[in-house]
Amino acid sequence: MKNVRQKLFSILAIATVVFVTSCGEDDSVTAEIPSVTVTATLGDETTSLSSGGEITAGESVIFTVNGTAPGGFNTLFVSGSGSITINRNDLNLEAGATETGPIVLDPIPTTAANAGSSALYNFVVVDELDQQSDTLKFSFSIVSPDVETYEMVLLGAQGNTNEGFYNAKENIRYTYADARDASTVTSSPVDLAYYWGATNNSTIAALDDTGLDNVYTAVNLPISNIFGTRNATRFVSSNLTATEFDGVANNAQLESAAVFELGGESSATGLSADDVLAFEFAEARGGGFGLIKIVSVDDTNGNGTITIEVKVAGE
What is the C-alpha separation between 195 and 305, in angstroms, rounded?
Answer: 9
β-bridge pairing 73-80 and 82-87:
antiparallel
Q: Which residues contact 157 (CB under 8 A, 6 or more apart)?
A: 164, 194, 195, 196, 299, 302, 303, 304, 305, 306
- With helix as H, strand as E and coil as C, how does 231-279 read? CCCEEEECCCCHHHHHCCCEHHHHHHHHHCCCCCECEECCCCCCCEEEE
185: left (phi over 0), alpha (psi -120 to 50) or beta: alpha
pTM: 0.71
Domains of the chain: 35-143 (2.60.40), 148-312 (no CATH)
Q: What are phi and psi of 165, to 5 degrees?
A: -110, 145
Q: pLDDT by residue for the chain (315 residues), tens digit each?
A: 444 333 323 333 333 333 333 344 445 668 999 999 999 999 988 999 999 999 999 899 999 999 999 999 999 999 998 899 999 999 999 999 999 889 999 999 998 889 889 999 999 999 999 999 999 999 999 999 999 999 999 999 999 999 999 999 999 999 999 999 999 999 999 999 999 999 999 999 999 999 999 999 999 999 999 999 999 999 999 999 999 999 999 998 998 888 777 779 999 999 999 999 999 999 999 999 999 999 999 999 999 999 999 999 987
User: How does DSSP classify residue 57?
Assistant: B
- The C-alpha angle 191, 197, 203, rounded to 5 degrees, equals 35
